[in-house]
Amino acid sequence: MRPACLLLCLALLGCRAERAAGPLPQEAYVWQRAWTPAVREAVGQASDFAGLTVLAAEVDLSHSPVRAFRVGIDWQALRSSGRPVGIALRIGRFQGWGGGTGRFADDPETVRRLADLAGTLAQEARSHGFAPREVQLDYDCPESKLADYPVLVEAVQKAVAPAPVTITALPTWLRQQRAFRKLSRSTDGVVLQVHSLRTPSRPGEQIDLVDPGEAVRAVEEAAKAGRPFRVALPTYAYGAVFDRRGNVVGLSTERAGTEVAADPDAMAGLVRRWTADRPQELAGLVWYRLPVASETRNWPRPTLDAVMDGRAPRREMRTALRRPGPALVEIDVLNTGEAEVPLPSPVDLRWDSDRLIAADGLSGYRLLALGPREARLESPSLSRTLRPGERRTIAWLRFQGTAEVHVEIPASP
């Protein structure tokens, strides 16, 4: 090999990105605005996470002076988790501030107020015995103003010292590599949010919150900045509500609508992939958000546990019979798996007696007679689901005397 070719090969090898493998630290966001008993319980059971980042305040920049909403954090519940704690400041993206430019450099008063608020939040944590592992700024900065963002970061760093200051980042920022690198160097860490910001264009359109291929590409691109970063992955779903003309009129985590959801199987695939091979700069995962038993649009905890292990959650449904009286049989379905699943339909029933007096379906099921000793339960709504560990009664049968009843969930074609 010629010396010039050898030098070129060595140079290319030297520029090759370093790779890493092995388990990643996994953290969770506590983004609930009200610390209900269910939230406190979930936090108290979060000892298996590497850390928790807690929403502490939200700021509305459309008002002058800026308007802040403080979250009433239950510090005792956090202490019971035994986890390192970071605090987050959510900054809403609004127009009409900074002299109309939307730039922090043009509005030192807003910067001062935001920095003072961050400093107050950090001091509050310290007063409850917590040294914040980070103060995280969650601001969806426009791409065109990334070069201005360090103005706020540096002011907050002075206000909360010695706590590190981190920021969340969007994949679209990576198109501005020079500005993104400068911004990432101004911080103590970056959390890349790879969830989609798209909404369905029509009712019934299926959209996943994360495209795994796009997430992998975003991670590889973010690594080019040469700074350690974490990736935030979603655990939730929301409903897009349409008007009669087919236009999206709102997004809700409570109301029904065309669902945009995080696919646990796909997220488990990303965990497996990055456990086996990833850029050296990828330093951890943060789940948004901590599962709470009362939230129906967020994964149940068994689902997240499986995904954190890098495996698709197990789906398992079974039936059970109960006999409240000698002649009465009630039929339940139980979710014995790790993921939320639709209620089964159809469900077939058979019995060994000709002395059936009455029967009916429950929980939205219709009972259809198929013969003197058999019937079928059907549910017209496939949107009804069972969460892991949940049990629901779907029918009852009353006989003259005792009878043996057999229940079968036919296999899907």
Does residue 14 lie within any of the structural domains? no
294, 355: one domain: no
Does residue 7 lie within any of the structural domains? no
What local confidence, expressed as pLDDT, does residue 58 receive? 97
262, 343: one domain: no
Which residue segment(s) compose the domain that 212 sits in?
Answer: 21-308
Per-residue pLDDT of the chain (413 residues; tens, 9 = 90+): 555 554 444 444 444 569 999 999 999 999 999 999 999 999 999 999 999 999 999 998 877 778 899 999 999 999 999 999 999 999 986 555 555 678 999 999 999 999 999 999 999 999 999 999 999 999 999 999 999 999 999 999 999 999 999 999 999 999 999 999 999 999 999 999 998 656 655 565 567 889 999 999 999 999 999 999 999 999 998 766 655 665 554 554 544 444 678 999 999 999 999 999 999 999 999 999 999 999 988 999 999 999 999 999 999 999 999 999 989 999 999 999 999 999 999 999 999 998 999 999 999 999 999 999 999 999 877 668 899 999 999 999 999 999 999 999 998 76
What local confidence, expressed as pLDDT, does residue 70 receive? 97
Does residue 148 lie within any of the structural domains? yes
Does residue 2 lie within any of the structural domains? no
Domain count, the chain: 2
228, 156: one domain: yes
What local confidence, expressed as pLDDT, does residue 151 receive? 97
Considering the entire predicted model, what is its pTM? 0.88
327, 221: one domain: no
Does residue 139 lie within any of the structural domains? yes
What tokens were used for 189?
């860490």
Decide which of 277, 308, 339 is a domain's last residue. 308
270, 350: one domain: no
CATH (domain of 322): 2.60.40.2230
What local confidence, expressed as pLDDT, does residue 255 receive? 47
125, 220: one domain: yes
CATH (domain of 180): 3.20.20.80
What local confidence, expressed as pLDDT, does residue 10 receive? 44
Does residue 374 lie within any of the structural domains? yes
What local confidence, expressed as pLDDT, does residue 259 receive? 66
